[in-house]
Structure formats: structure tokens, C-alpha cells
Amino acid sequence: MSKPSMINAENLTKRFGDYTAVDSVTLHVDKGEVFGFLGPNGAGKTTTVRMLACLVSKSSGSATIGDYEIANREDQPRIRMMTGLLTENVGLYEELSAYDNLDFYGRYYKLGEQRRKERIEYLLKLLELWDRKDAAAGTFSKGMKQKLAIARALIHDPEVLFLDEPTANLDPEASKTVRDFILELKKEKRTIFLNTHLLDEAERVCDRVAILKTKLVTTGSPQDLRRSLTGRKVKIQLQRVDEAVISSVGEIGYQIVESTPDSIVVSLKDPEEENPAILRAVQKAGGNVVFVTEVGSSLEDVYLKLVRGE
């Protein structure tokens, strides 16, 4: 049974004069999914998010958030109420305190006074800003401003969260706080659309990723994309590799793609099914297996090949 989709785009396109920033993008994001959007600068990631969040109009195609159509003027206020957005520019009121920034946006989203207080305290404590709640946002470091902007995007407890480079300007500890926070939001079945250029971040938090270069290049889980580049390979670490071990693997029809004095790498279609036969052949030839691991390309390898042709 397929999961219900929260974000659906069909041939979504945005042109600025003769320049096409986003070209016929079709994608579907499931409810409760963390979906990563990867691509180089100028690929159209931010423009796509701005269209989905009803900040800029589309040129052609269509898209829905939940049951609402982004081009329908009556639906746009509903989309804004059910979505939260962290933009590249944090856009805080720097003369206001952290608390008052969030209170302002809580009022905008028509939260009652008690609910605003609860959400502000919860978010500022979670993002480790509660002790600076009365300080003007303009006195904050870039990283602190970024965390405050994330809190602002979440003040109305949205179903869908658009995050454009959420760990930009953050130190490693703060980045981990944000990543852990995203994973906590995922447990709440919140749908998260994450623009990032950090491939390691995408691998850690995303269920699926899409690679964009004005056009959509590919979509899939990080694991599936890694396997798509080179297939599946298994590394068998042994105490010693000799000719008898190599011959035994070849005799049962498998190709050794790499060998060292103490390991072999074998290309397989289905390691779960094929590993036992290979290990039996290795052991029959006198090989002493130390451990077995699956190896493959990194998401970075896939990204560079698809986007840069490397």
C-alpha cells in the first residue's frame, strides 16, 4: 500500500524572461518523509521551494501541497498556514528580542496567547536559545540567528517544513543539534523538504533525495542512488588471499573486481542470497574469513557523476 503524498509537482516550470530557472520538474513527497533536494548553485532548488511555498508564481505545470493547489489564490493562504519556511536569508527583526520575534510570528499565524508562550518556550529551549530570549536578534551570531529562524518557521507547528540550507553558518555542534531536531520532527510524521549542498547531511537525515540541475536528474533513496552507480559489491577480508581462493570464486561464476594480499571485492546482484555460496567456496579453498562488508559508491560519487559528469 503506497503512502499518501503531501507534495506533488507535475512539470513545474519557472522562467524569468528567456531564462528557465526550473524546467519541468515532476516529484512526489510522501507525508512524513524527509526529502532532500540536492544540486549546485543556480540549479533551481530555492526557486522550486519558493513556488511550492507560494512566494513566486509558476510559469507552467502544477503543484499541490496536501489538497491545495499552489496557483489557486483561495488555496494559497491555506498552504501558508500549513507550511513553515526557512529561507536563505534569515530575515529576522533585529531590533526585537528573540522572544518577541517569535511572538510576532505567532500572532501572524493567529496563535492564542497561551499557545504562543508554550511554542516559544519549547522551541527556544530545544534550540538552546532560551537563556538569550530577551536579547535583540541583531546581537546574535550567524549560527544563533539561523537557529532562531528555524524556530520562527516552526512557531505555528506546520505539517510541512521547507528548509533551505538549515545548517548554513552553524558550527559542528549546532549543526548536530539541528540534524537531531529534524529527525525528531520526522518522528512526529512531519513532512520536511530539505535543500542542502551537504551530501553527508542528506545521507544522515533524508529518506529520499532528488538531484536537480534545472531539470530533475534523478530521485531515489541515498542507498539506491549509491548502488545505481556501481551495483552492489562485497568485500571479503581474509587472513591471506592466495591463488586457490581467487580460483574458487571464479569457478562458481563470480567476478573479483579488486584483490589485495588480504581481501577480495566481488560484484554481486543480490549479496543476501549469494554471499553464503561465495563464503563456502572461499573456505573450501582454505581461506580464513575475518569479516564481510558491503561496499559501494558514496552519495558524493553519484552526485559528481550526475551533475558534473565526473
Q: Which domains does the chain have, with CATH numbers?
A: 5-220 (3.40.50.300), 227-296 (3.30.70.1150)
Q: What is the mean pLDDT of residues 279-289?
A: 91
Predicted pLDDT of residue 138: 94
Residue 235: pLDDT above 70? Answer: yes
The answer to whether 167 and 179 have CB atoms below 8 angstroms apart is yes
- Residue 100 pLDDT level (bands cut at 50, 70, 90): very high
Residue 227: pLDDT above 70? Answer: no
The Cα–Cα gap between 79 and 300 comes to 34
Q: What is the pLDDT of residues 18-73, one digit of tens each?
A: 999 999 999 999 999 999 998 888 889 999 999 999 999 999 999 999 999 999 99
Predicted pLDDT of residue 200: 80
The answer to whether 43 and 213 have CB atoms below 8 angstroms apart is yes
* Residue 285 DSSP label: T
Q: What is the mean pLDDT of residues 105-129?
A: 94
- Residue 255 pLDDT level (bands cut at 50, 70, 90): confident
Q: What is the pLDDT of residues 161-213, one digit of tens each?
A: 999 988 876 788 878 888 888 888 888 888 999 998 778 888 888 999 999 99
Predicted pLDDT of residue 228: 66
pLDDT above 90: percentage of residues in the chain = 57
Predicted pLDDT of residue 220: 87
Question: Is 268 or 27 the better-scoring residue by pLDDT?
Answer: 27
Q: Which SS3 state, helix, strand or coil, does residue 255 take?
A: strand
Lowest mean pLDDT among 25-34, 89-98, 227-236: 227-236
Q: What is the mean pLDDT of residues 242-267?
A: 88
Give the CA radius of gyration of the chain: 24
- Residue 106 pLDDT level (bands cut at 50, 70, 90): very high
Q: What is the mean pLDDT of residues 216-226?
A: 83
Compute, in degrees rounded to 10, the torsion defined by CA atoms 53, 57, 60, 61. Answer: 20
Q: What is the mean pLDDT of residues 235-251?
A: 91
Question: Is 40 or 160 the better-scoring residue by pLDDT?
Answer: 160
Q: What is the layout of strands, in order, in the sheet containing 19-30?
A: 19-30, 5-16, 60-65, 68-69
> What is the phi/psi pair of residue 237, to 5°?
-90, 125
The Cα–Cα gap between 278 and 262 comes to 16
Predicted pLDDT of residue 2: 58
The residue assigned the cell 581474509 is 238
Residue 307: pLDDT above 80? Answer: no
Q: What is the mean pLDDT of residues 112-138?
A: 94
